[in-house]
Amino acid sequence: MTPKKRLRNAIYGKEVDIIPVVSVTQTGTKDLMDLAGVYWPDAHKDAQLMADLSYEPYKTIGFEAVRVPYCLTILLESLGCDIMEGEKTRQPSIASHPYNSRQPLPLKPIPDDLLELNRIPVVLEAIKELRSRVGDDVPIISGAEGPVTVASDLLEVTTFMKWTIKKRESVREYLDYAAEAVIRYANAMFDAGADLFSLLDPVASPELMNPRDFNDLVLPLYQRMADELKGDVVLHICGDVEFILPYLKETGFAAVSIEEKTDLKKAKEIFDGDIRVVGNVSTSTTLFNGTPKEVYDEARAALDNGTDVLAPGCGLAPMTPLENCKAMIRARNEFYI
């Protein structure tokens, strides 16, 4: 079974020969940069360098997919946010929020040339380069900020959260705008050759957003996106998502990526085969600060608890040791002995 067919089967609950090991979140680490001879922030801005660094985890760690890009600022930059480009071990971040105001400001139309702005062409070209490099048998996973994260960064997250109480219709307007922009960007990624789109929406977490607001404001957007996106989607929301698991089941997406804070067994029980689970080896604790043995044990626990795709629970910290990542592959391989 090719890695591409294995991953597709896994996220649709079909038979696989072995559970795939991938990362649906960012994979750039300092060790991998040293091996590839490619570093941030240059790899954020050059398609060839982006592809070179994205290929390295597949080549060196053994992850069974390649994944681009490395941050959650690319779409937001093209929608008007100023960006701090970061450093070798620090991702780009949002420097300004163009619609932050005491009262709602009218949204400018999404640019007709959105896909030609700033770093979006870099990502699309990197996907094409990776497809030519890995062929048709290795899956390409692309990722971008989700609609809640886009809307909250256009406004500023505190303002956004206040408006979910005081100005809900304005929040709906911003979320609709954000969802449309994400759909355009994600579909361009599929057109460029991506096989799976990772929708990363950390601000939708119950640790920030009331689950009732998620059900009312966000779930309908996700269902619309599931209908309008051209390919398979895995949704990633940071933190403990236990309180919204029943809603996540109804999104229409293929899979949900969870952190270690969420009980994997409980997620499997609630999803009941309607949506698959990706995860959930801790990135902040075990992969970053633990030993290979601790990573191995946590990966085995995820496999024992029924994960459909073994993966880091969130984006890899830049200083994550390579041997810790490789322990995930070893755990999966020995799971079948």
Question: C-alpha angle 283/288/294, rounded to 5°?
Answer: 85
Amino acid sitting at position 237: I
The model's pTM is: 0.97
Closest by CA to 41, choosing from 86, 94, 76, is 86
pLDDT in tens, 255-272: 999 999 999 999 999 999
Beta bridge partners of 233: 197
pLDDT in tens, 100-141: 998 999 999 999 999 999 999 999 999 999 999 999 999 999
pLDDT in tens, 132-169: 999 999 999 999 999 999 999 999 999 999 999 999 99
Mean pLDDT of the chain: 97
C-alpha distances (whole Å) from 265 to each of 235, 295, 298 are 18, 19, 14
pLDDT in tens, 292-326: 999 999 999 999 999 999 999 999 999 999 999 99
* Token code pair at residue 106: 């009218």
Note down the domain range covering 142. Answer: 3-335
Q: Cis check for the bond before 41: say yes or no (omega within 30 of 0).
A: yes
Total domains in the fold of the chain: 1
Question: Over 90: is that where the pLDDT of 67 sits?
Answer: yes
Question: Over 90: is that where the pLDDT of 237 sits?
Answer: yes
Q: In angstroms, rounded to a whole number, what is the distance separating the alpha carbons of residues 257 and 235?
A: 6
Q: What confidence score (pLDDT) does residue 79 get?
A: 98
Q: How far is CA 44 from the centre of its chain?
A: 16
Specify the CATH number for the domain of residue 321. Answer: 3.20.20.210
Q: What confidence score (pLDDT) does residue 337 get?
A: 86
